[in-house]
Structure 1
Amino acid sequence: MYLKHRLLLGTFFLFSLQAFAQSYQRTSLGVKATIQSMNVEVQFYSPRIVRVLKSPEGVAVKRESLSVIKLPQQVPLTVSEQNNIVTLKSELSVVQLNLSTGKVAFADLSASPLFTEKDYGAQFTPIKDADNATYAVRQAFLLNKDEVIYGLGQQQNGKLNQRGQKVYLKQENTRVCIPFFQSVKGYGIFWDNYSPTTFSDNVQETSFDSEVGTCLDYYFMYGGSADGVVAQMRDLTGQAPMMPMWVYGFSQSRERYKTQFELMDVVKKYRALKIPLDGIVQDWQYWGKDNNWNAMSFDSTTFPRPQNMVDSVHNLKAHLFIVSWPGFAPQTKQYQEFKSKNMLINFDTWPPNANTKPYDVYNPQARDIYWSYLNKGVFSLGIDAWWLDSTEPDHINIKERDYDQPTFLGTYRSVHNAFPLMHTKGVYDHQRATSSAKRVILLTRSAFAGQQRYSANTWSGDVSSNWPTFKRQIPAAVNFSLTGLPYWNADIGGFFAGSFVKGGGAKNPDFQELYVRWMQFATFTPMMRSHGTDIPREIYQFGTRGDWAFDVQEKFINMRYHLLPYLYSTAWNVTHNAGSIIRSLYSSFGADKQGYENNTEFMFGPSFLVSPVTEKGSKTQSVYLPAGATWFNFWTGEKYEGGKSINQETPIEIVPLYVKAGSIIPWGPEVQYAAEKKWDNLEIRIYAGANGEFTLYEDEGDNYNYEKGAYTETTFKWDDAQRSLTILDKKGSFKGMIGGRKFNLVLVKTKNGAGNQLSKAAKVITYKGKQQVVKL
């Protein structure tokens, strides 16, 4: 009996050693271990950012990210082990690695759980990717039952909260697919894989499942808030440079201007009507017929004097976008050169039946060749901005073998989702190397993580002209911003407007209503741009002054220009402080859970709450005012306490717009283009009811001298109790900056609940860059 008991004890002891005596190894960035026939490595990139790498045992992994550019820093860590759990603690976060199951879990310093994998949640399924033996990779996680998450790029599902979704993340027109989400618990997850990936969330688990991957690779970011997570994502994947001031004005486009004379006529008409305009866009076929698709040169019949066209646009104080595609027709020189060097990806792209093929954007030499043609044929003429269309890219007559096609970095399947990132990289890097006189502007139809560093402004694609599609653009824009990319826009009125043609096109009252409401929304997005097919969208197509469809457009285009000092300063906050222009209610009011799933409203910068009218024939609209602030109706000055919904009348000339108490709004002059007048006599609107601060940013308007410190910041601080505004010493300098200037200080008040009444106690002061305190 005694001997049997000893044998049982010995057997249990040996089993215990086998079950729990797993080992781990310290590394310069964290720890690594082999668990369940799987290599697991935890790497601290900063006290807030942690990378998790997993791969099958025996598989060598040497991986350089296309999205991540941050180099890991040496992070002081406390590492301990207890009960087969390795705990790594930085000054800001805690990570635990289970040596038995391979599960990685994350917590804050108070040991409150933030995010966790499932036990045994990693999967590696052997597959053949073309002729390459590799894996499909999957990782499952566990979220709290009521946890709200945002992101995934730009989806057209109409939802803000992405819980309960199964989304196939593969780039396509109207859908920008980025395997990233952030949580209201203050963390973000970036799944660093470029193959088509299924994101799934259900009651059992949340998972990423990628079709191709030699390893499982993701980043955990602890930001503490929406803004904090965005800042960490930018730290990881790159900051967004400043765009020129003019691009924040109004741009006009059409599918398409057929001659240079047609394009010039549009600019001339805007100037004659005194309607503000800064950008004009030339869409496709300026190169001639489709068999010359994307030749990057102007057809001699329809664009006989392209240099004269560019110069004329500039003489009228406007700027020119030119479209460029990633695919080439066989007749072009580019196609022939790329083909001879095996730098085409062999599938059909737009247009159909033209045998057009995309170039290998993943090949640095191919990107060099692409720019050499673009520079010689177009940029050398003085073009101001690029419209990079079809950056998903379009894929015609899809066949499964198309994804087996080789690229410089592997099969097309393995890198598909990063196509827009690499394409924009090529154009941005080459223009920066060619000239610093103009800031790069890339209007692009798709995006991937990190693309903000290439000065890309992504539009929502060729969406349809109808009210449900319009409504879906709001959560699409907000989720895109919460993914970490700050610049987004949409075709005003939607792209495909054919259903309105029979009713009179731009004179069709139904289309006019949709278009005007969409323009009101666009006034409060990072780019205000009119574009579409079937119906020309220039303001004069809708009527003349005195016609409501004309007058309301003019009102909101002018408003956009009044907002330029506010918007340009907000853009500086994007570049300088990793901020955002389009903001969720959660981003600004994280303590108010009623705003977490609000998919009809957003913040425009720090001060404006926007509730676009997205229902046909709407006469009133319910607007939720977040708790934690007092709100002013922008149009009437009426004041409301937050934390409740109100009904607002919505005549066609009004979009619900509220300003947070404590806001300081610089209100720009009336102009015909962004740089027409200096900001030497700005109105400064103050919304009392809370303390506030705003920094006015100014620079040379274009070029990259701001990167060398050529800019100024003027900070305004409002003390609500003292009713005083302090204007601090101006910081910095640049060539041509304003010396002495006037500020018209206005305290916004209500008068009988009607009209945006401004205090009669407004003061005009002269400011010469030295601190002043003004009582109001």
Structure 2
Amino acid sequence: MLDDEVNRRALLGASVTLCAAAHARSSSAAEHQGESNPSFEQMMRIEGGVRLVSQNGTTLDIMCMSEGTFSVVKYRSNSNIDREGFFLKARAASGIHFEGGILRNGDCGLHIDPGKGLLHFFRQGNLVLTDTGTSKHAQHFSFPFACDLYGLGQFRDAIANYRDKSLYLAHANMDAVNSFLVSPHGIGILWDTHAATQFTSQGRHLTFTNDASLTRYHLCLGGHIDAVIAAYRRLTGKAPLLPKWAYGFWQSQERYKSQQELTDIIDTYRAKKLPIDVMVQDWRYWGDESQFSGMVWDKTNFPDPKGMCDHVHSHHAHIIASVWPAFGKASEIYQALDHEGLLFKGTHWSGGKVLDITAPRAREIYWSWIQKGLLSVGLDGLWTDGCEPEFMSTGNRYVTAKSYLDNEKCFVGNISDNLMTFSYYQSNLIYHQSRQAYANKRPLILSRSVYPGQQAFNAITWSGDTFAGWQTLNDQIVAAQQMSLSGIPYWTCDIGGFLVTHRFPNGLQDSAYRELYVRWFQFVAFLPIFRAHGTQIRRELWAMGEDGDPHYEALKKALKLRYSLMPYIYSQAARVTFNNETFLRPLIMDFSHDPKISAYPNQYMFGRNLLIAVVNRPLEAPQTNYQEFIPNYAVVGMQGPAAEVSFFEGAHFEKLIETRASDDLKMSWFGDLPIDLKGKPYSARWKGRIVAQESGIHLFKITTQGLIKFVMDGVTRVVSKGSEAGFATKADGAVSFADHEGDDVYSFEINLKAGQAYAFELTQSQPKHDIVSLWVEWVRPSHKAELQTSPNKMIEVYLPLGSGWYDLNSGLTYQGGQTLKLRPSIQDMPVFAQFGSIIPMSSGIDYAMQTPDQIELHIYTGADGNFTLYDDEGDGHNYEQGAYRNWKISWNEAKQYVTFHQCDTTYPSAAREISFTIIKHDAQSNSIIKKVTVSPSKTSIIGF
């Protein structure tokens, strides 16, 4: 419920006083922001809503496509555009009423002020948001009061709260935009223009700015964030169940170089009795770059891909492989697409070209090759890499956007109006075609990019090619929560970071990195998808050492804990599908009443019952290379939101080749340069401002080759002639190279003041062609201390108000509202269960679809509790027709008994009776165990 100062007057009747008050507030906001709103002279009913037309030809359509949701489209009446987008093709919601300038949708309403072009949105009589109009390609909103804001997807440099922040919404390798913004007050805005956008929050005002041909957004309202996300899913598509095996452990590596290597890995997992479900084959299984992602298999190293898949399947495991939307010029699919003009003109870094995924014929050809080259040999899913789409480089959102925009047109129109949607088309195609071709299997897609609604296609997003470091781990924890709040339930990341040696040149020989890897592994064990992947070091568990090694034992413990929780995990997944719930639950979802939770961004709920506190700093060994990338949001332009970089042919700025926007002060491979500079000496100049995030002495570190000059705040901080060492190094434009061999390192210190912007100019001259290495990093005053080991090896864990909590490691109980100081060993991760939690577990399974001999049912007493234990066939789509078991189990605290309620649904292979070991935990750390066998077909009560 909103504060009393916010207008609480009833919506019904739409009194003149209420409308005048809302109008006054919105008009004031409009005047403040300088909008010029059209006056609408015509108003007419359309299906599911109303249409307004202005004298200048602007049309405004307002529709109610689902309960609690208003969809708004603004466009020029004579324009030839896709008004509907992806989500306005369905029938409108029922129970829509329009009278007296008010459009009602359930308990939500919209008052239209046609004279000023203002839209006032209400819920239960309370004003929640005003559309204050558009100006200069900007859409403006005003809240009744300033509020916290979350969602928008996942970004490399994560922001925990977007209140009073600005953010460029565009895809890149480590930035996946799901443009759904939510407030804990039950408000969600889905920005749906398909274009890159600058988002700005200032006070109670929001602005979305782009040059799209239309404005289209959807307002989702509810009593809380869960209701808002449910409204988003009703509009954009529910999230189907993944195959049960997808919730197990995924083993991946950049890359397995032969099928023998891959099959040896699965053999070793089974021999060591380490649970596993998915083997992943990364790129180059097709051979050389001329066949890049050509949906063929290199006959030397992968002579029998079907036999490889069969071998994995024989171990009760599954296999997926990566596929790009770009193809080498010698591949048959390239020839087929090129023959029909279905490839973009821009060059992909492999030397091939990217297909126009928006063209139906391109999708038809693409699918035919996927099916006959990959799925037909037995792959169980696909990993769609580089689907922003990637051309030469996607490490930077501005560069990624420009590379795509340079192609100008796609099948459905201007790329500028379709910039964000590539992965949506791709996932939609693969999901629906896979369902049709393989009716007994649930599709599975691992995607590096995302668009609203992609959850409807069994698509999992992961966070791209991250760099190892404790700061990265902290960013990933926040990114996971923001993606979840944006309505996407399935997300994961590369355990330990994709790239390791930039900060940990000794890799697994460095005890500091092994500690980081363990803590990252423990974190991902409590994500919806549990996947190890990366380069430079081996990622199999035994790479950490043999039996008895504390780090290896820690990985084994976390892995087995994950598998023991499989009944809990699969049941939570069912809630996502059937109830539109959220799997990974940031604390703001369940404890918004507690003001202290914002100080603990490393904590979240895993399902409804388990509180996870990730160990997010070193306790054993400090990270010695503690510099970090200057975050994107700290690198801005002299006037605009991003810095400017100009590239020149020649080492002395002889010929300007290209100028682009950039908020990233790093180049690490050849694709970061304009393609016209390949094979040539070059020079570059960056200009912009660096915004200090905290006050104090900052250490800047620049790692590079060639001539370098860095001027900041009017003072030359670094100037050098470089060295000749680079001639014999591996700094050849690869993503990474051995310990920056041949690079020069420069550093300086400067005292900065938080919030102040400092002008800088950075120039680099590189006489050695194709040598790409430039890294500008800093050490914030607080950061070095954060990366030292805690003197007492302790971390703080906050237990939210409103519940009592069990520490699953110690068995001790605590009341909420207090901060604990814990000393977790390397094998322990702080996990807490709420009072009243019922946690089903199955110890001893080696793969997710294995039927356990019995289920352990842990009852954490102290409050009444309920849990719905879900199961089905584990794959296929029969569950959509009711072939599942949804079994309610409850705990009565007063009477101390468990009830297994009669279950009216089942599936053909379901057991008629199930053995449970019930373990009742109490506040005195006592446990009572009972073994029972119960039938889902009748109610059973077990007393204690």
Same fold per superposition (TM over 0.5): yes
Whether the 8 Å CA contact 2:405–2:419 is kept in 1: the answer is: no
Please tell me whether residue 471 in structure 1 is matched to residue 467 in structure 2.
Answer: no
**Cα 1:402–1:21, aligned 2, differ >3 Å: closer, same or farther?**
closer
Q: Distance between the aligned counterparts of 1:204 and 1:662, measured in 2?
A: 39
Shift of 1:740: 1.5
Q: Deviations over 1:32-87 (max 9, x none)?
A: 3234733223222234111112224654655231255643123331511xxxxx22
Q: Deviations over 1:425-453 (max 9, x none)?
A: 11111111101122111011111100001
Q: Which amino acid aligns with 1:682?
A: I
Q: Deviations over 1:259-307 (max 9, x none)?
A: 1111111111111111111111100000001111001111011111212
Pairing partner for 1:117 from 131, 134, 157: 131
SS of residue paired to 1:713: strand
Match of 2:299 in 1: 300
**Cα 1:405–1:181, aligned 2, differ >3 Å: closer, same or farther?**
same
Q: Distance between the aligned counterparts of 2:204 and 2:359, measured in 1?
A: 41
Match of 2:363 in 1: 367
SS of residue paired to 1:140: strand
SS of residue paired to 1:494: coil
SS of residue paired to 2:96: coil
Q: Deviations over 1:492-530 (max 9, x none)?
A: 101001236642x32321111011000110111011111
Please tell me whether residue 574 in structure 1 is matched to residue 576 in structure 2.
Answer: yes
Q: Deviations over 1:99-141 (max 9, x none)?
A: 22101111112x21111122xx313x5xxxxxxxxxxx32111
Q: Distance between the aligned counterparts of 2:502 and 2:387, measured in 1?
A: 27
SS of residue paired to 2:356: coil
SS of residue paired to 1:658: strand
Q: Which amino acid aligns with 1:664?
A: I
Unmatched 5+ residue regions in structure 2? 1-37, 394-398, 620-789
Q: Distance between the aligned counterparts of 2:549 and 2:577, measured in 1?
A: 40
Q: Distance between the aligned counterparts of 1:307 and 1:383, measured in 2?
A: 8
Match of 1:200 in 2: 200
Whether the 8 Å CA contact 1:500–1:511 is kept in 2: the answer is: no
Pairing partner for 2:72 from 45, 52, 55: 52
Match of 1:386 in 2: 382
Tell me the C-alpha RMSD between the 2 structures.
2.0
Match of 1:712 in 2: 885
SS of residue paired to 2:296: coil
SS of residue paired to 1:690: coil
**Cα 1:374–1:22, aligned 2, differ >3 Å: closer, same or farther?**
closer
Q: Distance between the aligned counterparts of 1:726 and 1:69, measured in 2?
A: 45
Match of 1:674 in 2: 848
Whether the 8 Å CA contact 1:440–1:455 is kept in 2: the answer is: yes
Shift of 1:663: 0.8
Q: Deviations over 1:310-361 (max 9, x none)?
A: 1111112211111111100111111111111111122122xx2x32211111
Q: Distance between the aligned counterparts of 1:502 and 1:63, measured in 2?
A: 52
Pairing partner for 1:395 from 391, 394, 398: 391
Whether the 8 Å CA contact 2:39–2:115 is kept in 1: the answer is: yes
Please tell me whether residue 539 in structure 1 is matched to residue 559 in structure 2.
Answer: no
SS of residue paired to 1:116: strand
**Cα 1:211–1:598, aligned 2, differ >3 Å: closer, same or farther?**
farther
Q: Distance between the aligned counterparts of 1:262 and 1:21, measured in 2?
A: 67
Q: Distance between the aligned counterparts of 2:404 and 2:509, measured in 1?
A: 47
Match of 2:119 in 1: 104
Pairs within 5 Å for 1:629-708: 629-676=803-850, 678-708=851-881
Match of 1:606 in 2: 608
Whether the 8 Å CA contact 2:145–2:204 is kept in 1: the answer is: no
* Worse overlay, 395-404 or 380-389: 395-404
Shift of 1:636: 1.3
Q: Distance between the aligned counterparts of 2:503 and 2:922, measured in 1?
A: 43
Q: Distance between the aligned counterparts of 2:576 and 2:152, measured in 1?
A: 20
Pairs within 5 Å for 1:402-413: 402-413=405-416
SS of residue paired to 2:309: helix
Q: Deviations over 1:386-423 (max 9, x none)?
A: 11111112231666684343211112222121111111
Whether the 8 Å CA contact 2:66–2:234 is kept in 1: the answer is: no
Q: Distance between the aligned counterparts of 1:532 and 1:155, measured in 2?
A: 19
Whether the 8 Å CA contact 1:585–1:598 is kept in 2: the answer is: no
Whether the 8 Å CA contact 1:138–1:210 is kept in 2: the answer is: yes
Pairs within 5 Å for 1:307-318: 307-318=306-317
Tell me how many residue pairs correspond in the alignment: 727
Q: Distance between the aligned counterparts of 1:760 and 1:500, measured in 2?
A: 49
Shift of 1:381: 1.1
Please tell me whether residue 175 in structure 1 is matched to residue 175 in structure 2.
Answer: yes
Shift of 1:595: 2.8
**Cα 1:539–1:60, aligned 2, differ >3 Å: closer, same or farther?**
closer
Q: Which amino acid aligns with 1:34?
A: V
**Cα 1:680–1:715, aligned 2, differ >3 Å: closer, same or farther?**
farther
**Cα 1:457–1:280, aligned 2, differ >3 Å: closer, same or farther?**
same
TM-score normalised to the size of structure 2? 0.75
Pairs within 5 Å for 1:91-170: 91-109=106-124, 111-118=125-132, 121-123=133-135, 125=136, 137-170=137-170
Please tell me whether residue 772 in structure 1 is matched to residue 925 in structure 2.
Answer: no
**Cα 1:163–1:500, aligned 2, differ >3 Å: closer, same or farther?**
closer
Match of 2:626 in 1: none
Whether the 8 Å CA contact 1:500–1:508 is kept in 2: the answer is: no
* Worse overlay, 65-74 or 612-621: 65-74
Q: Which amino acid aligns with 2:496?
A: G
Shift of 1:625: 1.4
**Cα 1:715–1:63, aligned 2, differ >3 Å: closer, same or farther?**
same
* % identity of equivalent residues: 33
Q: Distance between the aligned counterparts of 1:766 and 1:304, measured in 2?
A: 50
Q: Distance between the aligned counterparts of 1:26 and 1:645, measured in 2?
A: 56
Q: Which amino acid aligns with 1:190?
A: L
Q: Distance between the aligned counterparts of 1:643 and 1:701, measured in 2?
A: 39
Match of 2:334 in 1: 335
Match of 1:187 in 2: 187
Shift of 1:609: 0.7
